[in-house]
Amino acid sequence: MPDTSPLLTDLYELNMVQAYLDKAEDGEAVFEFFVRRLPARRGFLLAAGLEDALQFLETMRYSAADIDWLKSTGRFRDNLLDYLRDFRFTGDVHAIPEGSVCFPNEPLLRITAPLPQAQLVESRLINILHFQTLIASKAARMVLAAPNKILSDFGLRTAHGAEAGNFSARASYIAGFNSVANVLAGQRYGIPIVGTMAHSFVQVHGDEMTAFETFARARPEGVILLIDTYDTEAGARKVVELAPRLKKDGIAIRGVRIDSGDLIAMSKKVRAILDAGGMKDTVILVSGGINEDVLQGMKKDRAPIDGFGIGVNLAASIDAPSLDCAYKLQEYRGVPKRKLSEGKQTWPGRKQVNRAYGSDGRMSGDILSLEGDKQNGEPLIVEVMRGGKRLGAVPTLAHIRERAARDLARLPEPLRQLQQGIEYPVAVSVALKDLAVEADRLTKK
Amino acid sequence: MPDTSPLLTDLYELNMVQAYLDKAEDGEAVFEFFVRRLPARRGFLLAAGLEDALQFLETMRYSAADIDWLKSTGRFRDNLLDYLRDFRFTGDVHAIPEGSVCFPNEPLLRITAPLPQAQLVESRLINILHFQTLIASKAARMVLAAPNKILSDFGLRTAHGAEAGNFSARASYIAGFNSVANVLAGQRYGIPIVGTMAHSFVQVHGDEMTAFETFARARPEGVILLIDTYDTEAGARKVVELAPRLKKDGIAIRGVRIDSGDLIAMSKKVRAILDAGGMKDTVILVSGGINEDVLQGMKKDRAPIDGFGIGVNLAASIDAPSLDCAYKLQEYRGVPKRKLSEGKQTWPGRKQVNRAYGSDGRMSGDILSLEGDKQNGEPLIVEVMRGGKRLGAVPTLAHIRERAARDLARLPEPLRQLQQGIEYPVAVSVALKDLAVEADRLTKK
């Protein structure tokens, strides 16, 4: 059975659509997806997942087997089953492009569609956009903490399932990671794949020198040797001893990897051993417990490390494994809507975000306004799908990654430094505040 | 492109296998998967994911397209490509059955297979077993914190991708959850599906009473009404007002849901309103921010809540979104192996776990020993696959869930109460300690 299908949704979507169809309640609905607030210690978001979301909308079809199964549950009537059989998403989508820096309450995506359609796509849209934005935002912190270092996603094994492993690779590459260990992600997304060896490889060969030489001869391009299975410094000395023997056969040792112990102290010792052995060009890669705090610490301590393999801290965003997000009805049949539940009020209407920049080219503030409400600054939200059809060419991942690099460079310096307690200014326009009052007035409780 | 394929693996597995094939290094290898230590605040693990792991092993095949793509990377030689083309997993698997309580250092799974096979399956095996065990272990805490309550997995939207949404449903159901909102999980696993309505449903109808009546008539079996869109107490009073009108048409309001505010205080107010309205049988369900601490608090405060919809706290295991786990070489060509890296030493050899029970029927202690090393107590690890073929019938999810219920009932009371700082005793047998010394002696560093 496939991992995804249109049945990858919450039952309440189908319940509601059954009720809507019974009453022919299919007016134009506007929903927006946004993050309510940032996790502790975070200062910004990096939007990701839009391409997968649009692909989902374009290709969402209920198979005959899906319909048969829904029917077999006895929960749904023929009007719903017939509707699903012919389902096509025919709505419009506006969004902040992937790779853009954004902030709480700014809609990453807006769906404008007949009500049943807009409701049926909710669960999976959130499932895609939440996770990729979560990971891109986490990865961006690591990219900022380790300028000019090689960062690789090693997170597949403890990512939350298969899709998380693939999406993590995509989102972190957008944020500026250089490569990924997950081969399928390399195939799917064209991300450079990287890999060294496991400790088991050394253990199988019993002695480390044999393991190193066997590996280097089997994988002569870009040899990276894992040197911490027994004693890291001894491992580094073996690398120095082995290098001339390999060189005779035209094989260079490109780097070593350390996966345990005090990585800062050990990297300095290993660098000294390699340098003394004439291996100044051999890079040091490390893995194990790397996050943005560790990266900042290593930068401060000038650890001679060239690259980092980052696992679960990236792929499960350990310090903040979720974002407080919502997909909310903002307008129905032309009437503005907002949720009034205690502590969960939202801004109604079809929104736009305009961003101002200072004379230094850095972002200086956003204004959350309504579509058509003229504001200064660069508008962030653009139309990406009309009548169920994509507008324009699918942006390449390289293009999205460039946008992220440009936006991260334009962050205010305290946010680039990952300083805590810095809140980027997002103002709310007068027109939007007025609309909220109007929405409340129109609400018949 | 599919979400999973044999390429869902770390590149280093393929690198190592290339080197192994070059040297015909294909002796019998023994790897074990285990959790190194528990997250803070956790006292036990609940094993899950084995069935998916075994299915992965049984069906792992490289397609012609996979081989072509690997070839196109220019990284691999024909001996590897030919090997992958004919790949079948032919090894043996021993495991702790799903639904069993277990502890750190106890192998959840052992692979005994020719070295290249045992290495190629590593990444995906960890990806499956880590996540499902993580979620089952988290869900079990909620089950223990809320005895006799209805618990439903509402986590799809903020689960980390599609597979996480499905695996979370499976793992939490094993742990004792009652139902899931994710329809696909219902289809795949036969888990009861549940769903109510969203706030948008109320907002679309403008006034709450119309929304409630429309929903009840569209979904007359098991009507659950969401009453907190505007004012929760007013919502409850409308339910009381509506009930007689629906009753005339044979429709009962089974329950109400509250998704915001002070859930304990509000549930008491709503219970009073419903009771005063003659609706003593109408249940109260709540959602939003529920975790095991909240559940314990609600139990202590005697909140009149019948059921809980639990989202991201379950599906992303927010307080501990990963387990420190490993898949380690324990033996190669009959020689015991263990990792000596700083702070990461492991126990070598093919292990067994025996569990003792007190006169009260509760677990009193485990002993980590070697296969064939006779110990008292119930052995936990059983053979589940031989020569690549499953042994015995596939256990039903109901059966696995019963095992979990039985094991959770047998936990020492402090662990059942989720008391912190309680360490369940896991002893290490003399024979295993001796083997570790022997493994160290045999290691030619």
Q: pLDDT by residue (tens digit) across A123-170?
A: 999 999 999 999 999 999 999 999 999 999 999 999 999 999 999 999
**Does the structural domain A11-136+320-442 have CATH classification 3.40.50.300?**
no
ipTM of the complex: 0.97
Give B14's pLDDT tier (boundaries 50, 70, 90).
Answer: very high
Contact status of B5 with chain A (Cβ, < 8 Å)? yes
Flag if A342 and B260 touch (Cβ within 8 Å): yes
| pLDDT on residue A445 | 55
User: Model confidence over B366-413: pLDDT tens digits?
Assistant: 999 999 999 999 999 999 999 999 999 999 999 999 999 999 999 999
Question: Does the structure show a pLDDT above 70 at B344?
Answer: no
Mean of pLDDT over chain B: 95
Closest in B201, B323, B332 to A204, CB measured: B332
| CATH architecture observed for domain B149-315 | Alpha-Beta Barrel (3.20)
Which residues have a Cβ under 8 Å from the Cβ of A4 and sit 6 or more positions away?
A: A124, A163, B3, B162, B184
Query: Can you give the pTM of this predicted structure?
Result: 0.97
> How far apart are alpha carbons B308 and B313 in whole angstroms?
12
Q: State the average pLDDT over residues B3-14.
A: 94
- Give the per-residue pLDDT at B341: 59
pLDDT band for A344, please (50, 70, 90 cuts): low
- 3 state SS for A60-125: CCCCHHHHHHHHHCCCCCHHHHHHHHCCCCCCEEEECCCCCEECCCCCCEEEEEEHHHHHHCHHHH
Give contacts of A316 with chain B, Cβ < 8 Å. 160, 316, 321-322
**Secondary element (H or E) of residue B263:** helix B263-276
* Side-chain-side CA neighbours of residue A311 (13 Å): 20
CA–CA separation, A394 and A178 (whole Å): 22
pLDDT at position B266 = 97
**Surface-to-core class of residue A388, CB atoms within 10 Å of its CB (0-12 exposed, 13-18 middle, 19+ buried):** middle
pLDDT digits (tens, 9 = 90+) for A224-254: 999 999 899 999 999 999 999 999 999 999 9
Q: If you write DSSP's letter for every residue of B137-198 in order, what string do you get?
A: HHHHHHHHHSTT-EEEE--GGGSSSHHHHHHHHHHHHHHT--EESBHHHHHHH-PPB-----
How close, in Å, is residue A47 to chain B by CA atoms?
16
CA atoms within 13 A on the CB side of A333: 10
Query: Which token pair is A397?
Result: 């991942």
DSSP strand E in A301-349: where? 307-310, 324-332, 335-336
Whether the predicted pLDDT of B3 surpasses 90: no
Contact residues, chain B, for A328 at CB < 8 Å: 199-200
Q: Provide, as residue numbers in chain A, all residues whose Cβ is less than 8 Å from the Cβ of B325.
A: 158
Say yes or no for a CB contact (<8 Å) between B8 and A229: no
| Cα pseudo-dihedral B163, B164, B168, B169, rounded to 10 | -40
Nearest to A158 among B122, B130, B203 (CB): B130
User: Which tens digits make up the pLDDT trace of A188-212?
Assistant: 999 999 999 999 999 999 789 999 9
User: Per-residue pLDDT tens for A62-106?
Assistant: 999 999 999 999 999 999 999 999 999 999 999 999 999 999 999
Those of residues 341-370 in B touching chain A at CB distance below 8 A are 341-344
Asked if A197 lies within 8 A of B16 by C-beta distance, the reply is yes
Q: Give the mean model confidence (pLDDT) for residues B109-123.
A: 98
B110–chain A nearest CA distance, Å: 15
Q: Could you report the per-residue pLDDT of B60-100, keeping only the tens digit for each?
A: 999 999 999 999 999 999 999 999 999 999 999 999 999 99
pLDDT band, very low/low/confident/very high, at A2 (cuts 50, 70, 90):
low
Q: Is the pLDDT of residue B353 over 80?
A: yes
Do A219 and B19 make contact, defined as CB atoms within 8 angstroms? yes
Find the mean pLDDT for residues A106-120: 98
CA separation for the pair B150, B56 (Å, rounded) = 32
A274, pLDDT greater than 80:
yes
Query: What is the mean predicted confidence (pLDDT) over B32-48?
Result: 97
Chain B touched by A164 (CB under 8 Å) = yes
**Which among A90, A78, A68 is positioned nearest to A7, based on CA atoms?**
A68
Find the CB nearest B445 among A231, A317, A339.
A231
What pLDDT does residue B1 have? Answer: 58
**Which positions in chain A touch B234 (Cβ < 8 Å)?**
445
Domain boundaries of chain A, sorted by first residue: 11-136+320-442, 147-315
C-alpha distances in Å from residue B150, one per residue of B174, B273, B307, B368: 14, 22, 4, 36
What is the CB-side half-sphere exposure of residue B376 using CA atoms within 13 A?
6
CB B310 within 8 A of CB B157: no
CATH level 2 (architecture), domain A147-315: Alpha-Beta Barrel (3.20)
Contact A259, A286 (CB under 8 A): yes
Please check the confidence at residue B2 and state whether its pLDDT lies above 70. no
Residue B444 has what pLDDT?
60
- Residues A404 and A102: their CA atoms lie apart, in Å, by 11
Beta bridge partners of A403: none
Nearest-by-Cβ selection for A163 from B123, B161, B444: B161
Rounded to 10 deg, the angle between the B162-175 and B397-409 helix axes is 50
pLDDT (0 to 100) of residue A321: 98
User: Nearest Cβ partner of A203 from B164, B260, B337?
Assistant: B337
> Structure tokens of B240?
């009381």
Nearest to B329 among A119, A157, A204 (CB): A204
Three-state DSSP class for residue B363:
strand
**How many CB contacts within 8 angstroms connect chain A with chain B?**
351
**Which pLDDT belongs to residue B342?**
58
Give the Å distances, CA to CA, from A286 to A186, A283, A298, A305: 21, 10, 11, 7
- Rounded to an integer, the average pLDDT of B228-254 is 96
Instruction: Please give the DSSP secondary-structure letter assigned to residue A390.
Output: E
Of all residues in chain B, what percent carry a pLDDT higher than 90? 93
- For residue B108, pLDDT over 80 is answered with yes
Interface test with B, best of A1, A3, A80 (most B CBs within 10 A): A3
- What's the pLDDT tens digit per position in A411-436? 999 999 999 989 999 999 999 999 99
The answer, yes or no, to whether residue B185 has pLDDT greater than 80, is yes
Q: Provide the mean pLDDT of chain A.
A: 95
